A and B are shown apart, each in its own frame.
Chain A
């Protein structure tokens, strides 16, 4: 069994189960009294986004609650990671799938519902910005036989209340991993 249960790409805990569990739990993420039925990590109560690393987002969406505490599979929201170069962002309807019931009292969830009710798009701030002359296909990495975890590049995302850039994303960092894993270091594999 790999560490960091639930976050691992290899694990196929069906997200739908998570959803039904969530829907039946009226507790909010930031409620300190919320008892976790899950094992392992429990997200801390954290309301001061200004003190957290990473850019401030329009909604204080917490990866540590969803991915850490509730052990949701990354691919429930980042649905295209295995099939596309882009990992995919959850549509607002995906969020509302749970939050039409879950977390009604949470002010951040209320913000989400406002977006949904007003049919407005959420403008998330990009955290991992690659240079425009380089391509990173998520699917080629996620599906490779080297068993690359999301955390290998994105860091301990299941413990991040607010996401920040963990790796440098500079070329040396890419190349050293390619060398270690005996992947090609041909220029055109990324620069095309």
Chain B
């Protein structure tokens, strides 16, 4: 009966359409509205959990735009992340988030993401490949080369992924992983090893320090954990208990951080270490603070660097040094060294001298907090330089690169990209078509951090979780899963040593072990769910009590002056960092806090130095160092010594998508490839300037 009726219906409909064809006017009545196709309402097949249409769902996860690891709350509407904010419960950022964190959404929705696994075809072009085939190809190649020819480069990976990559490399018998960060704080770690005998980077408690002395540290922009430090600084520096905090800055260029300072101290560039030692000698010899028992280890060093002895070389009067030393001990204080003002050849000496200054003022354990000892999580530039040499010599058979872009963010002379040509099989896990992916044989895109399971330990006692806030947009696969599947493909002993089916399983195994370490005896499900909801687990860590190491007094104080017409200072861009933010239009559009320039690279020059050479703003200058030559427009900036020019890093990509490619110049082309005494890159270089043409 129903069948018959249906036929009748279609008959009627057919008849109706015939009529419609001639009347024409019926079209509007059929569509039900004036113009265009009617909108469609498409419900789900099955209701997703925790989702009401029109109501946002918030997920706690972790920002991975820089190693600081701030907590995020991602706002998700109908299965799409639409906004990220800081997680108010997170100990690192307490609800705040910087511009780079905000722009993480533009990494997720970036039009230049690698959307499926690719392989280099016969014609040299990248062509789509199936995941299974790619994994099989890797497994086969791993069986063909000797294990010591297998190398893996990652960024700073402080959590489970780093441990999995290490375990995977051990299982296949390969050499250690190279964890490369362009700003790896090599000088600071070198100085900590020398003065305190530990490799760790401490937590600097700006929130307690009413007196901050910064030796060129851009702690409000990119250094260590800028959101946390900015929060602490604004709390301690603001007016309470009847007075303002005080911030004294020592730097050849006035950065955004320097603009917040109360006092500017401008020693001769490269002599910051002498200033710090002279202050320490005043504190010890005038007994301005409780004298530590082991101060004898540095006594000779301090006696050799009294204010009177160094005043001439530093260019600051002995009275000023004594005043600074007195102020430094009158209230809770903190001295920091690092960042762009102290990235020169002798940066480790500056950092060591500042360590001694903090130590004799009683700040170590108070505002300088070293957590429990742990393995170093970041390698050094010297590891990368060594790896590149091995690659050039054909000593690397298979190279994996994940979360690092040494083909752009390393001195250009290293030429990691060209060295990749000498490697049998190069595998990039890049999410974007960056400089490494452009030369890799296999590009196996990782999920975006907002699409993946992971964790991160920004500092001791903070275990931050990452959870997928939405389904992956493309045919990408989490690199942890690719490693596990490759191990399974190899099978045998290798697979047996990695007992996890998926990366999420591996992560949960790690968290089960963590739960035991934290002496939490609830069922794992309860611990895990609570950690997911909060964004992680954190506990207070008792700062380690550190004594001066035997090597503390053996500081060879040399100054970091470069000579040359100008000293070029290359500094990380507050928006683009080392260049990883350059493919986010929001960050390109963000005016630099000092120059207000967008979408470009510039050279900062003192107006007086420019006037002497007839250079006007916007004129194109050719900057030449021993390492290379670039051209960029001049920006005249009085907040710079007359013998210094400065350029931001981050631009000048030769790949990395439509927003980054071919924009500005890469200041890394000007930096020497030599490894400094502390194992890093010198971001200062002797430079000459040639005026090539007028501004148009």
Question: Interface majority SS on A: helix, strand, loop or mixed?
Answer: loop
Verify if B614 is at the interface (C-beta below 8 Å from A). Answer: no
Asked if A47 and B5 sit within 8 Å, CB to CB, the answer is yes
Verify if B32 is at the interface (C-beta below 8 Å from A). Answer: yes
Contacting residue for B55 out of A50, A80, A165, CB 8 A: A80
| B32 nearest in chain A by CB position | A55
Verify if B41 is at the interface (C-beta below 8 Å from A). Answer: yes
List residues of chain A with CB within 8 A of the CB of B2: 28, 30, 105-107
Verify if A123 is at the interface (C-beta below 8 Å from B). Answer: yes
Asked if B43 and A49 sit within 8 Å, CB to CB, the answer is no
Given known A48-B9, A49-B9, A80-B52, contact A54–B32 (CB-CB < 8 A):
yes
Q: Mark B617-661, 1 if CB is under 8 A from A, else 0.
A: 000000000000000000000000000000000000000000000
Asked if A125 and B43 sit within 8 Å, CB to CB, the answer is no
Verify if A182 is at the interface (C-beta below 8 Å from B). Answer: no
Verify if A127 is at the interface (C-beta below 8 Å from B). Answer: yes
Verify if A129 is at the interface (C-beta below 8 Å from B). Answer: yes
Min CB gap B35→A, angstroms = 11
Min CB gap A79→B, angstroms = 8
Verify if B373 is at the interface (C-beta below 8 Å from A). Answer: no
Contacting residue for B40 out of A83, A92, A123, CB 8 A: A123
Asked if A50 and B13 sit within 8 Å, CB to CB, the answer is yes
Asked if A124 and B46 sit within 8 Å, CB to CB, the answer is no
Verify if A99 is at the interface (C-beta below 8 Å from B). Answer: no
Verify if A176 is at the interface (C-beta below 8 Å from B). Answer: no
Contacts between the two chains (Cβ within 8 Å), count: 96
List residues of chain B with CB within 8 A of the CB of A126: 38-41
Given known A47-B9, A54-B32, A107-B3, contact A88–B52 (CB-CB < 8 A):
yes
Asked if B43 and A90 sit within 8 Å, CB to CB, the answer is yes
| B5 nearest in chain A by CB position | A47
Q: Mark A115-158, 1 if CB is under 8 A from B, else 0.
A: 01001111111110100000000100000000000000000000
Instruction: Give Cα A89 to B53, complex, Å.
Output: 9
List residues of chain B with CB within 8 A of the CB of A93: 44-47
Min CB gap B424→A, angstroms = 44
Verify if A85 is at the interface (C-beta below 8 Å from B). Answer: yes
Asked if A92 and B44 sit within 8 Å, CB to CB, the answer is yes
Instruction: Give Cα A122 to B45, complex, Å.
Output: 8
Q: Mark A80-115, 1 if CB is under 8 A from B, else 0.
A: 100111101111111000000000011100000000
Instruction: Give Cα A83 to B50, complex, Å.
Output: 13
Contacting residue for B39 out of A51, A129, A138, A165, CB 8 A: A129
Asked if B52 and A92 sit within 8 Å, CB to CB, the answer is no
Asked if B39 and A116 sit within 8 Å, CB to CB, the answer is no
List residues of chain A with CB within 8 A of the CB of B44: 91-93, 121
Asked if B41 and A83 sit within 8 Å, CB to CB, the answer is no
Instruction: Give Cα A155 to B8, complex, Å.
Output: 29
Asked if B40 and A124 sit within 8 Å, CB to CB, the answer is yes
Contacting residue for B46 out of A47, A51, A92, A105, CB 8 A: A92
List residues of chain B with CB within 8 A of the CB of A50: 12-13, 16
Asked if A30 and B52 sit within 8 Å, CB to CB, the answer is no
Verify if A56 is at the interface (C-beta below 8 Å from B). Answer: yes
Given known A50-B16, A107-B2, A126-B38, contact A92–B55 (CB-CB < 8 A):
no
Instruction: Give Cα A147 to B33, complex, Å.
Output: 30
Min CB gap B12→A, angstroms = 5
Min CB gap A102→B, angstroms = 14
Instruction: Give Cα A51 to B20, complex, Å.
Output: 13
Given known A48-B12, A84-B52, contact A92–B38 (CB-CB < 8 A):
no
Verify if B6 is at the interface (C-beta below 8 Å from A). Answer: yes
| B38 nearest in chain A by CB position | A125
Min CB gap B610→A, angstroms = 49
Instruction: Give Cα A85 to B33, complex, Å.
Output: 23
Within 8 A of B (CB), among A62-94: 79-80, 83-86, 88-94
Asked if B38 and A55 sit within 8 Å, CB to CB, the answer is yes
| A50 nearest in chain B by CB position | B16
Asked if A83 and B47 sit within 8 Å, CB to CB, the answer is no
List residues of chain A with CB within 8 A of the CB of B5: 30, 47, 107
Within 8 A of B (CB), among A32-61: 47-51, 54-56
Within 8 A of A (CB), among B1-49: 1-3, 5-6, 8-9, 12-13, 16, 30-33, 38-47
Verify if B143 is at the interface (C-beta below 8 Å from A). Answer: no
Verify if B54 is at the interface (C-beta below 8 Å from A). Answer: yes
List residues of chain A with CB within 8 A of the CB of B30: 55-56
List residues of chain A with CB within 8 A of the CB of B53: 80, 84, 86, 88-89
Asked if A84 and B54 sit within 8 Å, CB to CB, the answer is yes
Contacting residue for A125 out of B9, B16, B32, B47, CB 8 A: B32
Asked if A121 and B43 sit within 8 Å, CB to CB, the answer is yes
Min CB gap A58→B, angstroms = 9
List residues of chain B with CB within 8 A of the CB of A94: 47
Asked if A47 and B40 sit within 8 Å, CB to CB, the answer is no
Min CB gap B157→A, angstroms = 38
Min CB gap B371→A, angstroms = 44
Instruction: Give Cα A67 to B53, complex, Å.
Output: 22
Instruction: Give Cα A85 to B78, complex, Å.
Output: 13
List residues of chain B with CB within 8 A of the CB of A107: 2-3, 5-6
Asked if A92 and B45 sit within 8 Å, CB to CB, the answer is yes
List residues of chain A with CB within 8 A of the CB of B41: 89, 123-126
List residues of chain B with CB within 8 A of the CB of A28: 2
Instruction: Give Cα A47 to B16, complex, Å.
Output: 14
Instruction: Give Cα A136 to B44, complex, Å.
Output: 22
Min CB gap A184→B, angstroms = 21
Min CB gap A106→B, angstroms = 6
Min CB gap A141→B, angstroms = 13
Min CB gap B662→A, angstroms = 37
Instruction: Give Cα A46 to B2, complex, Å.
Output: 12
| B45 nearest in chain A by CB position | A92
List residues of chain A with CB within 8 A of the CB of B12: 48, 50-51
Asked if B46 and A91 sit within 8 Å, CB to CB, the answer is yes
Min CB gap A82→B, angstroms = 10
Asked if A124 and B45 sit within 8 Å, CB to CB, the answer is no
| B44 nearest in chain A by CB position | A91
| A139 nearest in chain B by CB position | B54
Asked if B47 and A123 sit within 8 Å, CB to CB, the answer is no
Asked if A119 and B32 sit within 8 Å, CB to CB, the answer is no
Instruction: Give Cα A83 to B40, complex, Å.
Output: 22
| A33 nearest in chain B by CB position | B1
Instruction: Give Cα A120 to B43, complex, Å.
Output: 10
List residues of chain B with CB within 8 A of the CB of A56: 30
Closest 5 pairs between A and B when the two form their complex, measured CB to CB: A86-B54, A84-B54, A89-B43, A55-B32, A126-B39
10 pairs from A and B in contact (CB 8 Å cutoff): A49-B13, A55-B30, A55-B38, A85-B54, A88-B52, A88-B54, A92-B44, A107-B2, A122-B42, A122-B43
Interface residues of B (CB under 8 A from A): 1-3, 5-6, 8-9, 12-13, 16, 30-33, 38-47, 52-55
Could you list 15 further interchain pairs (A-B, Cβ under 8 angstroms) beyond the known A84-B52, A84-B53, A93-B46?
A: A47-B5, A47-B9, A50-B16, A83-B55, A86-B53, A92-B43, A105-B2, A119-B45, A120-B45, A123-B41, A123-B42, A125-B39, A125-B40, A125-B41, A129-B33
